[in-house]
């Protein structure tokens, strides 16, 4: 017998599969997931915790570890590097990180320009 976890509210996550960064689609789950295959193909979605009840004892699904804080793992499938990140700290935590990187570069370019002018 499988039961869905209801102790924590579901997170809103992006759900998309693109050959580049994407922040589209919507799903609800216990965890948001983002994977990056071969440093270019992005897949995002949701994962849910499920519990099994055997003889009155409940067991968490073995293939999902409890996520206390966001983390990433690296796996190789058919020789292709796949980075998989899990999070459940905020809604849409599987968003693209490119905006933050672009803002950082622009900030440092601005500082260099100020240094050059003065």
DSSP calls for the chain: -EEE--SSPPEEE--EEESS------EEESEEEEEEETTTEEEEEEE--EEEEETTEEEE-TTS---SS-EEEEEEETTEEEEEEEE-SSTTTT--SHHHHHHHHHHHHHHHHHHHH-
pTM of the model: 0.63
Check residue 74 and give its pLDDT: 94
**How do residues 64-92 score in pLDDT, each as one tens digit?**
455 667 889 999 989 999 999 999 999 99
Listed range (36-45, 82-91, 94-103) with the worst mean pLDDT? 94-103
* Domain extents in the chain: 2-117
pLDDT above 90 as % of the chain: 42
């Amino acid at each position: 017998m499988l039961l869905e976890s209801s102790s924590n509210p579901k997170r809103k996550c992006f759900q998309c599969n693109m050959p580049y960064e994407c922040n589209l689609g919507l799903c609800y789950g216990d965890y948001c997931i983002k994977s990056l295959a071969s440093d270019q193909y992005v897949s995002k979605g949701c994962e849910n915790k499920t519990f099994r009840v055997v003889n009155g004892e409940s067991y968490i699904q073995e293939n999902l570890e409890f996520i206390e804080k966001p983390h990433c793992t690296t796996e190789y499938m058919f020789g292709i590097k796949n980075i998989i990140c899990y999070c459940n700290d905020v809604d849409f935590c599987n968003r693209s990180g490119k905006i933050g990187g672009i803002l950082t570069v622009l900030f440092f370019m601005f500082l260099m320009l100020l240094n050059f002018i003065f």
